Structure 1
Amino acid sequence: MPAKDNKKPEFELFPWSSQFETGIDQIDEQHRKLVAILNRLAWHMSAENDDLQANEVLDELLDYTHYHFRSEETVWHRYFADTSLEENHHKAHEHFFEQVRLYQARREQGDEKTLAEMFDFLTRWLAFHILESDRRMALMTFAMETGHSVDEAIEEADRTLSGTSSVMVKALLEIYGKLSNSTVQLMKERAVRRQLEEEVRQLRASQGKGSADS
């Protein structure tokens, strides 16, 4: 098995922002690692690198996401056990992997567009989940630690995430969406170029065979 690729990308397509921070050290540290892996994946997919390495980084991202979800749900369970908040958050995690499995099935069938589409999904989903869902849940836990009920904590989180904060989150999501689109476009251009190069190779091979036969 090839060694895990730990090479740092020459640039970060998805820079970490303080807006991603939940205030819970354990979760923030894991989110930082997710973003770091996502940056390596973006670099491999947009640069002229071995596709095998890109697939290995993708597998690493999915493995770590699975670990992070389990860890995160343990934290939320301490505050929201047996509530719809906990159930809905868990369902969101399950839906994430359901979508990933669909993409992986298409990859196994040789669909060339799947990798780019999966990357776009991963980027947008993780950014939205951190900025919207995880930050909201964290704010609720802080409110509950000061004696608020779950309903009061929800209201407190809604107030905190409204107004200027809401505008900032929407702006960040838009930026990440554009960055993802740029990366996906590079990936598609690479795929088209590889296809054309393969067609040229086959044409030359066919011409060479024809010359030899004559």
Structure 2
Amino acid sequence: MNILLDEFEVFPWNKNFEIGIEVIDEQHKVLISLLNELASTLTRGNQIEINHVFSELAKYAEYHFETEEAIWADYFGDDSWLSSHQLSHSSFLPRVIELKEQEINKPQAEIIECIILFLIRWLAFHIMDNDKRMGLCIQNIHNGMPLEQAKIAADKKMSGSIRILIETVMGMYDSLSTRTLALMRESHARQKIEKELHKTNKQLRKANLRLESLSITDQLTDLFNRRHFNSVFMREIKRARRDKTPLALIILDIDFFKKINDNYGHSEGDRILIQVGQQLKIICQRPGDYAFRLGGEEFGVISSNLSIHGTAEFAEIIRKEIENLNIPNKYSSISQYLTVSIGSVTKIPDEIDTIDNFMSIADKHLYKAKESGRNQVVAKE
């Protein structure tokens, strides 16, 4: 058996990557093609060729990001979805360059493994999650929905994306394992093949665990992400309905966060989001407490077995602890330090209760907290 390295496609194109916007889908295909070429050149180990492909990849990625962001900007304006997407784009090229500079002196097998893990993460979590979510939102806008409603509908439709994600990632791993085995048979004796296969399987198991963690984690704050919020809420509402116990949803939003980004810069805004996320992790220590970053400057907490009064007390603890971080915010009109406004809902769910009506009530209470002067809690049934 003789398999050419040029035919070794570690990331075959999959229709699950399509987001429904033709120009973006076509550019994604080119980007994936360049990623495949990069993997091939890393395997060959020709330094001049590697530098050339890295350069081509960097140029095309920059071109693609500019094209994509121009499309998103027409629909999202200054919405947090766009700024979050731009942050994801800005982290791509520095990571590619870092891999090139830091890993190039390692054995080729280690270089390939490192690059492959990064590329899988990028394809699976950026294109399939972020791009597809925004593509769905645009489709909803074309169907006549206002932006916020289009975002909610897109989030709801994407709630089943974990299944598609796993199927796609496993498909890529299957292809990778088969082709890797073929190359091993070409260049190694049987004993070495068995040894390397055992090592590869161990690495794949580790990679699967890392991918599973990434699929439920917000990469900036290290809290659970919106996708996992939907999953946990569905599980907890079923449990609470079955056991006839109360379920609490707490939504908190950083006050005057746009002023922070405008005056301190987005880097400082990201640092503050990380601090708030860390504080929520410290506060949410009970087995029934789950903390999430829902998007932008909005966070959520799901708690079980709390009364309405208990939820109000818990929400007030969250508010005070975040204010006590003493993060300067001189552009706030209510405090010299960073504050949050909080809305919550607590109830024993019945058969017609869903994530949507829990979110609607909590959002209404959050709006009331902001309307009443911010830096306060509105907690009702």
* Fold similarity call, TM over 0.5: yes
Whether 1:134 aligns to 2:131 is yes
Return the match for 1:158 from 155, 160, 172.
Answer: 155
Superposition map of 1:1-214 within 5 A:
9-46=6-43, 48=44, 50-106=46-102, 110=105, 115-116=111-112, 117-163=114-160, 165-176=161-172
Q: Say which structure, 1 or 2, has more relative contact order (CA 8 Å, 6+ apart).
A: 1
Shift in alpha-carbon separation, 1:100–1:41, aligned structure 2, 3 A: closer
Change (3 A) 1:49 1:94: closer
CA distance in 1, matches of 2:116, 2:65: 19
- CA RMSD in angstroms comes to 3.0
SS of the aligned residue for 2:7 comes to coil
What is the CA distance between 1:13 and its match in structure 2? 2.1
CA distance in 2, matches of 1:183, 1:78: 42
Q: As a proportion of its length, which structure holds more helix?
A: 1
Q: 1:105, CA displacement in angstroms?
A: 4.3
Q: Any idea what SS the aligned residue of 1:161 has?
A: helix
- Asked if 2 retains the 8 angstrom alpha-carbon contact of 1:127 and 1:176, the reply is no
Distance 1:176 1:106 in 2: 26
User: Which amino acid in structure 2 is aligned with residue 44 of structure 1?
Assistant: T
Question: Post-superposition shift, 1:123?
Answer: 3.5
1:166–1:120: structure 2 CA closer, same or farther, 3 Å change rule? closer
The CA distance in 1 between the partners of 2:123 and 2:162, in whole Å, is 17
Note the alpha carbon deviations across 1:21-50, whole angstroms, 9 max, x for none. 11111100100101111122222333x463
- Residue 147 of structure 1, CA deviation: 1.6
Q: Aligned partners of 1:127 and 1:39: how far apart in 2?
A: 15
Which amino acid is 1:34 matched to?
Answer: L
Give me the TM-score of the superposition, normalised by structure 1.
0.69
TM-score by length of 2: 0.41
User: Structure 2: how far apart are the matches of 1:180 and 1:57?
Assistant: 21
The residue matched to 2:12 in structure 1 has which SS?
coil
Q: Partner of 1:194 in structure 2?
A: none
SS where residue 148 of structure 1 aligns?
A: coil
Rg larger for: 2
Q: How many residues align?
A: 177
| SS, match of residue 162 in structure 1 | helix
Unaligned 5+ segments in structure 1 are 1-7, 187-214
What secondary structure does 1:22 align onto?
A: coil
Task: Return the alpha-carbon distance in structure 1 between the equivalents of residues 121 and 177 of structure 2.
Answer: 10
Q: In the alignment, which residue of structure 2 is the partner of 1:198? A: none
For structure 2, the residue ranges without an aligned partner over 5 or more in a row are 183-381
